[in-house]
Structure 1
Amino acid sequence: MPSIYQLKPAFQNLLRPFVRMLFNFGITANQVTLLAMFISIGLSYFLYSYYLTHPISWLLLLFPLWMLVRMAFNAIDGMLAREFKQQSNLGAFYNELSDVISDTALYLCLIAFGFIHAQLLLLITFLAILCEYTGVMAPLIGQERRYDGPMGKSDRAFWFSLITVIIVIFPIFSTNLQFLSWICNGILSFIGVLLALTVYNRIKNSLKTTS
């Protein structure tokens, strides 16, 4: 099944001149990785705290905006590491752990909305972590890190961003929170099914390449 991750090479080509400029300024891959993680945590805390006591507002659109910018950060740190010889063992830990920490924080900040089922959101967050863990397990059996879809990191960023956009624009058309709950939790359920399929695909394809 197709995945947004397949668009990464074209995205990297667009960013390459900017990456070279960052390198010339002395910016390292690890600095970009850690900055993206801290911004993700900070934004998550801000949105969670704000929406515990405030009605839905356009501020929530910071979520999809940051998801888009964060995709650029993820591409940039990888290009700095590979193309400018900044790869390191510590950087490998930073890269994997900061992504999981950032994703977990960003997903869980939506628990501030009472119409989103907390148990379902926690399950999706767990499956997302499991999905990434499955990907990094592949090198333990001599294979490359797996990025198979259909619900990889970039795909999750799209669908969670869609949820936040729906939350913002829904009051324009209706005040029925039950219907909004049905839409948001329906999308979360869809994400969950595809996450389970992604875990299966990553295991299957890792084992296939060993035979």
Structure 2
Amino acid sequence: MQRKIRVGVVDDHPLYRDGVIFALEAEPDMEIVGQGETASDAYQLAHEQSPDVLVLDMNMPGGGINAVAKIAARASPTKILMLTVVDDQDDVRSALRKGARGYLLKGTSSSELVNAIRMVSKGQSYVSPSFAMQLIMSRNTEKNDPVEPNDRFPELSDREEQVLMLILRGLSNRMIGDELGLTEKTVKGYVTTIMERLNVRNRVEAAMLAAERIADRRA
């Protein structure tokens, strides 16, 4: 029997928290191992229960970002997925850099939340596609402005740089493979190498770094 994904939920709004828990309990591959309302609850839950994924409200008492930083500081194996009402880009960047593995708006569907938890539990990262593009393109990089290969990535080979530019455009591994005539598995290998060489933890951070370097070059 496949091991269930152990999930904790921390949110100071009982009705919303109960709704999230109800949706997750309906999934056969998930189980709720704890819940709470504050940053202190989040830390205690991570420490005592070590859930695979901890779903945290960004604006709970004590601060969601503070909870992320504290949990990450003790090298907890728990992966954190943030939920928020407001899509504040600075908060998102801060949460991701401090150790969060995913970010969703509270208006998201239960199916997207479930999918995000599954991805995060496997060590992948998840940010809603539309919001990810806002993050990526916000650093003076316009959506319709073509991104050309440049000399800002000496760590990467030409092919790796091609892949990074397509990540910057928001393409999935499969779409990148179709674009470059590569298998999805090969693309996944390139993405892993890119993250290692750029010293980032996920493709969102890789894209953000790419956008920043390109913006700096254009400035």
User: For this structure pair, what is the TM-score category when the shorter chain's length is used for normalisation?
Assistant: 0.3 to 0.5
Higher percent of residues as strand: 2
Higher percent of residues as helix: 1
TM-score if structure 2 supplies the norm length?
Answer: 0.31
TM-score if structure 1 supplies the norm length?
Answer: 0.32
Of structures 1 and 2, the one with the larger relative CO (CA 8 A, separation 6+) is 1
